[in-house]
């Protein structure tokens, strides 16, 4: 499969999820950890969820307080996130070498 | 809720409003953002959180409005997984490009270019640049003058002479026009009355010889004497103190058999030159629409001289020289009638007095029919004055249609500039961010695409409204130039007059009247505040994003 194009912001969100892959995360916590504003973060979350890479759940916290939306990567999402980790990506030098037929 | 600080309350209201317009598939996400809002630390941070979230929901609402759910793509695959929905992006770009192209195509139509130029007239006061009329002098008139001199076209030279503010240049062009075609000698009158007359170099005498029955050259001579007296600070307080030259000029004017301001000749000349040189400028067509064609002091001079004649007549009557008195009264009545209601507005009282005295003299001589006629003429003056005043008021205010059309033209012109600028900013921002001019490497963000799309739609709608609002007036201009039909010129003049006011000027809110100077002040005040705000935000963002050094 051709590698999907991911923006630096999406990569940052995936990296944050990968740090604790099984934990459910709140939107505001993700915003603080990734330093992304709500206007950037939520479109990414919405797209990840739309493509089945993220699962969502409503969690009631206390009486009289509205429930909170929480997020966690699906297995497919975790696989994609791991594939995008720096260690899994070929280095720039290796890519150049491949493109120039082995000459570095 | 009411105990929450204001920014937090505002944030909640903003998100709730955004949720109310969000499409079905984004509702959960809207509630998710609203749920998180309670946990955001800091009131202003909460407001910014809400602003970001509301922006996301508004974008979804706009996309849902333009592309109904049925037409939106399903899951893309492979490389396009995170590059937003490609078909939708292409469709949006396609519609944006089509709208921009359609807006640009409007500019191919001469009528639209005319309309756009008229819509720009409102900026002359705001930006403190020249008025449309003088601006034309700089560009269109220079071009016209070049062609006129090449073709030795006397009428075109006269046309430019009548519109050139430089007195010596105006006089030179008028001389050249008259040399080429002596039938245009009347141009000396127009050039001499419209602008402050300079030293007499024989032009007024030439006019008096060319049209000896006309009172106009003598009124111009009287005005020259007036101006000379004012410049020497020797303002006469009565007609008896006036120099003999003034009294002679006024006496000749009152004895003349006609008063021709040459306005009809001027309009006809304008029409022919506008058509011959394809000058499609409505401001030139109505240049003389609200001008009476008399020198500035003519009405006042005539009124003073008439009053003096009436006094002389009364003195003669007292000496029982009725015949001489009758001559004086008749001179006033005849000149007043010759000036007509437009020009003789300031002479109305003297004219009425003349009729009253003529009636009294006729009674004394037992001419009852003549006395009744003079009484009827005096009565008619009051009625005619009321009718004329009402007509002037209507003409000054203009019809509601011309008011609204001028408003629409100004608004749509303004919006066209706004959307055009926004579109240009989107393109410049996109090129800077992509660091490339290649179309294939330009990848607009959702916000850029939404802004460009909205701007393109806005520009197209503004262009259409501008075109439709101006269309009737282009027909009026065309009818005048091609067939000499003056029926819509007054309406065109009102429309153009209103179009030159900056948007918002002329509004009356209770006892508060918004004048041009107020609009200009508030415009520049707003621009200053926005600039200050932009600088403040830039500084704030700079300090927020700057990496903080930790204390050792």
B111-155 confidence digits (pLDDT tens) = 999 999 889 888 877 776 555 444 545 677 888 899 999 999 999
Confidence of residue A83 (pLDDT cuts 50, 70, 90): confident
Say if residues B323 and B313 touch (Cβ distance below 8 Å). no
Say if residues B506 and B152 touch (Cβ distance below 8 Å). no
Q: Closest approach of chain A CAs to the CA of B546, in angstroms? A: 13
Residue of A nearest to B446 (CA): A43
What is the residue whose two structure tokens read 């439709």?
B468
Residue of B nearest to A51 (CA): B75
Say if residues A65 and B37 touch (Cβ distance below 8 Å). no
- Look at B29 and A4 and tell me if their CB atoms are within 8 Å: no
Of B26, B36, B79, the CB nearest to A68: B36
- Look at A42 and B56 and tell me if their CB atoms are within 8 Å: yes
What mean pLDDT is reported for chain B?
Answer: 82
* Bridge partners for B508 per DSSP: B513
Q: Closest approach of chain A CAs to the CA of B33, in angstroms? A: 8
| B78 vs A contacts (CB less than 8 Å) | 1-2, 4
Residue B94: DSSP 8-state: H
pLDDT at B416: 95
The structure tokens listed for B174 are 């008028």
The Cα B453–Cα B433 span in angstroms is: 18
For residue B6, CA distances in Å to B2, B10, B12, B42 come to 9, 6, 10, 12
- Look at A37 and B52 and tell me if their CB atoms are within 8 Å: yes
pLDDT at A26: 94
Nearest to A73 by CA among A8, A25, A29: A25
pLDDT tens, B89-117?
Answer: 777 788 888 999 999 999 999 899 999 98
Of B35, B81, B446, the CB nearest to A69: B35
Phi and psi at residue B195, to the nearest 5°: -110, 165
Of A3, A4, A26, the CB nearest to B36: A26
Of A7, A47, A69, the CB nearest to B32: A69
pLDDT tens, B466-524?
Answer: 999 999 999 998 888 888 888 888 888 888 888 888 887 777 777 777 777 788 888 88
Q: Closest approach of chain A CAs to the CA of B82, in angstroms? A: 6
In chain A, domain spans: 8-99
The Cα B133–Cα B138 span in angstroms is: 9
Decide which of B210 and B381 is more confident: B210
B54-58, B384-388, B428-432: least confidently modelled range = B384-388
- Look at A2 and B78 and tell me if their CB atoms are within 8 Å: yes
> Which residue of B23, B34, B82, B441 is the best one to mutate when testing the A interface, meaning the one whose CB has the most A CBs within 10 A?
B82
* Count of CB atoms situated within 10 Å of the CB of B235: 9
Q: Closest approach of chain B CAs to the CA of A70, in angstroms? A: 9
Residue of B nearest to A3 (CA): B79
Q: What's the topology of domain A8-99?
A: Arc Repressor Mutant, subunit A (1.10.10)
Of B40, B56, B82, the CB nearest to A28: B40
- Which residues have CB under 8 Å from B148's CB, separation 6+? B156, B157, B159, B160
Q: What is the mean pLDDT of residues B279-305?
A: 76
Helical ranges in B344-445 per DSSP H: 348-364, 368-397, 400-434
The structure tokens listed for B491 are 């309406």
Q: What percent of chain B clears pLDDT 90, i.e. is strictly above it?
A: 31
Q: Rg of chain B's alpha carbons, rounded to an integer?
A: 35
């Amino acid at each position: 499969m051709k590698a999907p194009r991911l923006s630096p912001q999406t990569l940052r969100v995936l990296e944050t999820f990968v740090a604790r892959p099984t934990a459910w995360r709140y939107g505001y916590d993700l915003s603080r950890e990734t330093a992304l504003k709500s206007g950037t973060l939520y479109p990414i979350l919405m797209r990840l969820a739309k493509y089945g890479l993220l699962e969502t759940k409503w969690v009631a916290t206390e009486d009289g307080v509205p429930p909170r939306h929480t997020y966690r990567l699906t297995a497919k999402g975790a696989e994609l996130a791991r594939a995008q980790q720096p260690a899994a990506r070929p280095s720039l030098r290796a890519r150049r070498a491949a493109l120039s037929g082995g000459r570095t | 809720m009411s105990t929450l600080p204001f920014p937090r309350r505002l944030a909640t209201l903003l998100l709730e409003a955004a949720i109310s317009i969000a499409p079905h598939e984004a509702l959960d996400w809207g509630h998710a953002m609203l749920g998180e809002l309670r946990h955001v630390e800091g009131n202003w941070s909460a407001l910014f959180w809400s602003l970001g979230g509301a922006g996301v929901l508004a974008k979804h609402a706009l996309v849902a409005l333009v592309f109904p759910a049925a037409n939106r793509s399903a899951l893309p695959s492979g490389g396009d997984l995170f590059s937003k929905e490609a078909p939708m992006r292409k469709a949006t770009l396609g519609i944006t490009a089509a709208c921009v192209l359609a807006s640009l195509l409007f500019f191919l139509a001469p009528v639209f270019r005319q309309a756009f130029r008229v819509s720009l007239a409102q900026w002359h006061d705001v930006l403190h640049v020249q008025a449309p009329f003088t601006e034309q002098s700089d560009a269109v008139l220079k071009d016209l003058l070049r062609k006129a001199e090449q073709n030795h076209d006397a009428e075109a030279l006269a046309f430019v002479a009548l519109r050139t503010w430089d007195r010596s240049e105006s006089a030179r062009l008028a001389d050249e026009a008259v040399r080429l075609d002596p039938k245009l000698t009347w141009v000396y009158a127009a050039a001499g009355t419209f602008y402050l007359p300079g030293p007499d170099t024989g032009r007024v005498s030439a006019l008096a010889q060319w049209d000896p029955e006309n009172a106009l050259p003598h009124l111009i001579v009287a005005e020259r004497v007036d101006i000379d007296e004012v410049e020497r600070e020797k303002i006469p307080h009565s007609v008896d103190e006036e120099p003999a030259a003034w009294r002679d000029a006024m006496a000749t004017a009152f004895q003349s058999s006609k008063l021709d301001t040459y306005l009809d000749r001027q309009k006809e000349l304008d029409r022919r030159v506008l058509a011959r040189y394809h000058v499609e400028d409505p401001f030139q067509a109505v240049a003389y629409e609200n001008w009476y064609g008399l020198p500035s002091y003519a009405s006042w001079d005539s009124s003073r001289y008439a009053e003096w004649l009436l006094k002389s007549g009364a003195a003669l009557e007292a000496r029982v020289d009725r015949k001489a008195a009758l001559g004086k009264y008749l001179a006033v009545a005849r000149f007043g009638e010759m000036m007509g209601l437009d020009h003789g507005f300031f002479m109305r009282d003297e004219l009425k007095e003349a009729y009253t005295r003529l009636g009294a003299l006729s009674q004394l001589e037992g001419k009852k029919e003549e006395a009744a006629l003079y009484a009827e003429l005096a009565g008619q003056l009051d009625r005619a004055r009321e009718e004329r005043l009402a007509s002037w008021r209507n003409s000054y205010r203009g019809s509601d249609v011309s008011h609204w059309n001028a408003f629409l033209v100004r608004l749509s012109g303004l919006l066209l500039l706004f959307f055009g600028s926004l579109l240009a900013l989107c393109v410049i921002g996109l090129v800077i961010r992509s660091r490339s001019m290649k179309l294939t490497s330009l990848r607009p963000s959702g916000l850029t695409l939404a802004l460009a799309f909205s701007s393109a739609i806005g520009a197209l709608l503004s262009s259409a409204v501008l075109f439709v609002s101006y269309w009737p007036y282009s027909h009026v201009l065309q009818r005048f130039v091609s067939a000499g039909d003056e029926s819509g010129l007054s309406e065109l003049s009102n429309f153009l007059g209103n179009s030159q006011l900056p948007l918002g000027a002329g509004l009356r809110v209770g006892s508060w009247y918004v004048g041009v100077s107020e609009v200009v002040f508030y415009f520049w005040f707003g621009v200053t505040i926005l600039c200050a705000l932009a600088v403040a935000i830039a500084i704030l963002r700079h300090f927020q994003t700057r990496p903080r050094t930790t204390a050792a």
